[in-house]
Structure formats: C-alpha cells, structure tokens
C-alpha cells in the first residue's frame, strides 16, 4: 500500500447544488431495548429485593425525543440558519473533526466524500488500480474537491483518505404530539441559506414503536413495554475468555492486548 | 410504525395504477418487563410459566402447532381495478374494506404535485414550516386535494406539511401455522403475500411477512434440530429459597423460572 502524507488544500466545487451536509447522531449507541443483562438484573432485583438501576438509553425520555444534529457546510464561510418543522433546535457549537473514509471507484473516475473536507491529511491506495478487464493501470489523482476525488482514468480502485472537516453541532428536542394518531415525534430539520435549503428527515430511535403505541411507556423504568435486544446473545455461544491488556502507565498507550481462552 | 413496500406500475390498461402493501405491525420484541412480571406471578402462584404467552403476542399455541394471525393492508390507487391475491406459506381469508386514520409529514421539495401513499376519504393538511423559495420566506401556499390522491401546490416551494387523513384500502387477514416439531425450522419459514392486477410481468406487488418474534422464540431450535434447555441456579443463602432459571442452550432465551426451598 502506498501512503501519501501531505496537507492538501481542498478546492470547493461550486457546481454542487447542495451546500449543507446534515447528519443525525447515530442511534446505534442507544438501545431502546432491554438487554438480557438488564432483564436478569431486573429479575434479580425483584427476587432478592435489591435496588435496580437501569442502564437503558432509549432516545426518548419523559415523552421527549432528543438527538444531536451535525451540520457540515461545504463552503466554510456559508451563512445559514437551522430550523426544524417540529420541536426545538438549539446550539450550533463549532466542532473540528478528523475523519477517515474509504473512497471506492467502481470503473469510475469520481467518488464522493461523506463529509466536506477542509484539509486532506494523507491517503493510501488500497491496492492496484484495475481497468475494466482486470489489467493494472497507472492512475493519478486529478483533483480533490470539496465533494470528492477525481482520478485521471476510469478504474476499479479504493483509497483510504484521512481528512479534517468542521461542523456545527445542534440539539433537537421534540415533545410527543399529544393529539397525533401516528408519527408522534416526526420532524424535518433544515438549513436555510442564500439561494436555497437543505434538509434531513429525522430517523426515530430503535424501539420507538413501543412509545408510539403506548404513551405511558417509560424507558428503563420498572414498567412499560420495552423489548429484548435480539443482537445480544446470552449465554455466549463461545467459551469464556480472558482479555489481557497491558498499558504504559505514563503514556497510557496500549502495549499489548490479547484475548485468550480462560 | 409500519414497514412498507411500494410498486409503481405503468401497464397498458392501468398505466397509473399503483398499490402499496403494508404489514400490520407485529410484535417484534421478545419478552417485555410486563411479561417477566407475569411469568414470576405465574410461578409464585404455583403455575408453570412454560405455557405463558406474552401479552402482546398474537399467537395461538396448540398441541402440535403454533398459529400466528397477521394482516396486510393494501392501498390501491383506485378501486376499479380487479385484484387477485397469492400467498406463500400462509392462508388468506376474505379481505375487508377499511378506513384507517393516518398521520404523517410530507416534505415539499419544489414539487407542484405530491401523491399521497393511499386514496383518502377525507384529509386535513397544514404547513409545519414557512414556505421558502431559494432561501427566502414566501407567502404560505394554499394546499388542495385532487382526486382523493394528490396534494397540489400552486407554486414550487420548499416546506413541510403535516397530513392527517382517513385512508381507504383493503385488509387481508392471514394465518401462518407452523408445526411445533423440529422439521420445519422457523428460520426457513419466509411467508409472503402478493396481489396481481393483470397478466403482465410487472402487474403485481408483493411483500415478505414478518413473523412475531415471540413465535420464533417459541419455535427456536438448536443446530441439531432439537429443543434443548439448560438450567442455572441462584441461591440467596444456604437453606433458603433458590431460583432455577431454565434457558435455551441455543439462544439463551429464558423459558421458565422456579423458586423452591432447598
């Protein structure tokens, strides 16, 4: 693999109609579901009269949906305002981020970034570039723009790119629509700037149907209809294992990390 | 929350005919805390929790089979087109004409006509946001329903509409019956439902059906096609009541909990 290390300025593609990349916080860190650990703890608390403290995060608490929204302007000096069709959006804290992304070319010259980079830190070709019949061909990067990478030839190739980007972090909070039949928390967040608007329809958290159907459902409390997480298997199908991790006391760097059968 | 599939068809006889199939939501969860409390209550009252069926599981358990009652909603764009239905691994009962209250958001992104996902007998709609044109707020546009199917907007704008309507369609009741023995493993059962309105290849729409997760739990089998249960014991103190939890050796699902004196 060839690694190119450099700080490359990124030119802005003015032809793109989209000016804002709006992204919602990934719900994967939220469970919205009872894990088996949670249910066993709960049964144990009932049987042995122990106190019970939930670790569940649902994304909806006290009938309020709350999530973070990240807005990446493609042009750094773009002036915009964020709004929501329902609930309240607040914040706008400036965040500097470093991203790592694979750009894949499927017999194509161009591939797009998920987020607009301001500086390319380095990139690595993830193997040789192949033409339509499988021959290795020499290819160069023609241009890196605010939206993607353009090669000199159409090839099958993959590049790992590390870059920096900036975004604005907002918080969306929406109460349950008391009178609604369905879609109690649905909302569309949108950014308005001179010349246009970009929007994002808010994705609901996992397990939201429980809350849609039952206004009294509570997250992780001692009542309510929350369900098992199917992804978690208990007991584990594999035997027990030990994880031995050695960390340097001064630098906190990991020296070794191995998992061995118990 | 309803998962859906839509097929838009342009056939010679019914070039604008479309139909959307939606499965009536099934309980995707496994066991709720309410169920756990009920199971513990069963055990405390001297009954076995083995036959307990969770509160929102629409499954009938017989001696040698388990039956799930499902429904599919069909939302045709007109009621003049004759429909024929087909099913795989499920029995279809006589369809019913239904009127169902629905509520949802629609994003208007410079559209003059927005098709609703179903025919409606009545519909209320209102703007959730100001109307924008190229980043500037303009006069709120009048919305009108045409043909019970389309919302028409006199000017191309951006905004979000809240729609509350009575949808008209068909409900097809379905039954899926599975043997409790291990020959028909639940992982191999993939029922589906289709409707056809012509002889052309593309004049049909189909949907794969979700089975209630509680049904798959009831029928879960091991790799070797046998039902198998482990038990774990938890003692409070020597000589006092201990609890035995029976769980599936294959997937760890708790099946039965017993409290007894040592």
Question: Which of the four pLDDT bands, split at 50, 70 and 90, describes residue A76?
Answer: confident
CA distances from B228 to A70, B13, B30, B184, B225 (A): 48, 56, 18, 16, 9
The pLDDT-based confidence of B188 (bands split at 50, 70, 90) is: low
Q: In chain A, what residues touch B107 (CB-CB under 8 Å)? A: 188, 199, 201
Edge-to-edge, what's the strand order for the sheet holding B229-235? Answer: B229-235, B242-248, B254-260
- Residue B144 to residue B140: CA distance in whole angstroms: 13
Q: Does B138 touch chain A (CB under 8 A)?
A: no
The 3-state DSSP class for residue B178 equals: strand
Verify whether the Cβ–Cβ distance A187 to B101 is below 8 Å: no
Q: Which residues of A touch B256 (CB under 8 A)?
A: none
Does residue B75 contact residue B167 with C-beta atoms inside 8 Å? yes
Within 10 A of A242 (CB to CB), how many other CB atoms are there? 9
Distance CA A36, CA A235 (A): 9
Question: Which residues does chain A have within 8 Å of residue B215's beta carbon, measured at their own beta carbons?
Answer: none
Euclidean distance between CA atoms B249 and B251, whole angstroms: 6
Does the CB of B24 have a partner CB in chain A at under 8 Å? no
Of the candidates B28, B105, B252, the beta carbon closest to that of A183 is on B105
- Which pLDDT score is estimated for B201? 79
Q: Nearest residue of A to residue B129 by CA position? A: A85
Cβ–Cβ contact B156 with A under 8 A: no
Q: What angle do CA A249, A251, A257 make, to 5 degrees?
A: 70
Find which of B160, B236, B259 to mutate to test the A interface (most A CBs within 10 Å of its CB).
B160
Closest in B25, B29, B158 to A227, CB measured: B29
Helices (H), B20-59: 33-44
Q: What distance in Å separates the CA atoms of residue B189 and residue A9, rounded to the nearest whole number?
A: 55
* Strand B59-61 to A254-261 pairing: unpaired
**Chain A contact for B223, CB < 8 A?**
no
A-interface mutation test, from B2, B28, B29, B236, most A Cβ less than 10 A away: B29
CB count, 10 Å around CB of B174? 22
Could you tell me if B168 and B99 are in contact, meaning their C-beta atoms sit under 8 angstroms apart? yes
B90 confidence band (pLDDT: 50, 70, 90) = confident
CB within 8 Å: A209 and B25: yes
Whether the per-residue pLDDT at A2 is higher than 50: the answer is no
pLDDT tens, position by position, B147-187 = 888 999 999 999 999 999 999 999 999 998 876 655 555 55
The number of C-beta contacts closer than 8 angstroms across A and B is 108
In chain B, which residues have their Cβ closer than 8 Å to the Cβ of A190? 129, 158, 160
For A224, the closest of B33, B102, B132 (CB atoms) is B33
pLDDT tens digits for range B7-59: 433 334 466 788 999 998 775 554 555 666 666 666 666 655 555 555 556 67
What is residue B221's predicted lDDT score, i.e. its pLDDT?
A: 44
How high is the pLDDT of residue A5?
Answer: 45
B229 touches A at CB < 8 Å = no
- d(C-alpha B237, C-alpha B233), whole Å: 12
Cross-strand pairs, A148: A112
Q: Ranked by mean pLDDT, which of A7-11, A245-249, B137-141 comes out on top?
A: B137-141
Backbone dihedral region for residue B54 (phi beyond 0: left; psi -120 to 50: alpha; all else: beta): beta
- A46 to chain B: which residues are within 8 Å by CB? 37, 40
How many CB atoms within 10 Å of residue B144?
11
Q: How would residue B232 be classed by pLDDT, with cut points 50, 70 and 90?
A: very low
SS3 of residue B89 by DSSP: coil
- Would residue A14 be called left, alpha or beta, if left means φ above 0 and alpha means ψ between -120 and 50 degrees? alpha
Return the pLDDT at B8: 39
User: Is there a contact between B60 and B66 (Cβ–Cβ < 8 Å)?
Assistant: yes
Among the partner-chain residues A47, A85, A208, the one whose CB lies closest to the CB of B129 is: A85
Q: Residue A158: is its pLDDT beyond 50?
A: yes
Helix B33-44 to helix A36-47 angle (10° resolution) is 40
C-beta of residue A176 within 8 angstroms of C-beta of residue A185: yes
Locate the chain A residue with the closest alpha carbon to B249. Answer: A235
pLDDT band at A235 (very low <50, low <70, confident <90, very high): very low
């Amino acid at each position: 693999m060839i690694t190119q290390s450099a700080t490359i300025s990124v030119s802005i593609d003015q032809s793109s109609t989209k000016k804002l990349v709006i992204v919602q916080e990934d719900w994967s860190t939220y469970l919205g579901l009872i894990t088996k650990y949670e249910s066993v703890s709960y049964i144990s608390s009932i049987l042995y009269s122990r106190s019970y403290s939930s670790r569940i995060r649902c994304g909806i608490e006290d009938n309020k949906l709350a999530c973070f929204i990240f807005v990446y302007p493609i042009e750094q000096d773009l002036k915009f305002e964020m709004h929501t069709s329902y609930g309240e959006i607040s914040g706008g804290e400036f965040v500097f981020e470093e991203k790592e992304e694979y750009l894949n070319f499927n017999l194509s010259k161009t591939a797009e970034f998920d987020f607009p980079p301001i500086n390319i830190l380095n990139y690595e070709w993830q193997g040789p570039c192949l033409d339509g019949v499988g021959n290795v061909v020499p290819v160069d990067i023609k241009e890196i723009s605010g939206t993607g990478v353009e090669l000199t030839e159409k090839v099958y190739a993959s590049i790992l790119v590390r870059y920096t980007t900036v975004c604005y972090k907002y918080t969306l909070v929406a109460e349950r629509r008391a009178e609604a039949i369905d879609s109690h928390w649905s909302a569309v967040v949108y950014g308005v700037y001179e010349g246009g608007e970009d929007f994002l329809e808010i994705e609901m958290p996992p397990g939201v149907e429980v809350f849609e159907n039952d206004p009294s459902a509570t997250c992780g409390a001692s009542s309510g209809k929350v369900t098992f997480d199917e992804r978690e298997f208990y007991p584990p199908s594999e035997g027990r294992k030990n994880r031995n991790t050695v960390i340097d006391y001064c630098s906190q760097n990991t020296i070794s990390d191995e998992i061995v059968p118990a | 929350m309803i998962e859906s599939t839509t097929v838009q068809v342009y056939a010679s006889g019914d070039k604008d005919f479309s139909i959307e199939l939606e499965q009536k939501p099934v309980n995707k969860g496994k066991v709720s805390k309410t169920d756990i409390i009920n199971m513990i209550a069963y055990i405390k009252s001297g009954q076995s929790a083995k036959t307990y069926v969770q509160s929102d599981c629409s499954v009938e358990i017989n001696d040698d089979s388990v039956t799930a009652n499902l429904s599919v909603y069909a939302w045709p764009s007109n009621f003049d087109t004759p429909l024929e239905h087909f099913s795989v691994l499920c029995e279809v009962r006589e369809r019913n004409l239904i009127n169902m209250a629905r509520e949802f958001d629609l994003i208007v992104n410079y559209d003059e006509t927005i098709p609703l996902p179903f025919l409606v007998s009545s519909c209320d709609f209102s703007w959730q946001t100001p109307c924008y044109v190229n980043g500037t707020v303009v006069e709120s546009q009048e919305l009108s329903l045409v043909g019970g199917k389309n919302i028409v907007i006199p000017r191309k704008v951006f905004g979000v509409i809240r729609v509350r309507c009575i949808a008209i369609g068909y409900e097809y009741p379905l039954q899926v019956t599975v043997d409790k023995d291990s020959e028909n493993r639940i992982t191999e059962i993939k029922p589906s439902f289709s409707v056809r309105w012509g002889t052309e290849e593309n004049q049909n729409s189909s949907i794969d059906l979700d089975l209630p997760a509680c049904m798959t739990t009831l029928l879960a089998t091991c790799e070797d096609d046998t039902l198998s249960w482990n038990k774990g014991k938890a003692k409070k103190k020597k000589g006092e009541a201990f609890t035995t939890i029976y769980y599936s050796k294959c997937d760890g699902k708790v099946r039965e909990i017993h409290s007894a004196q040592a």
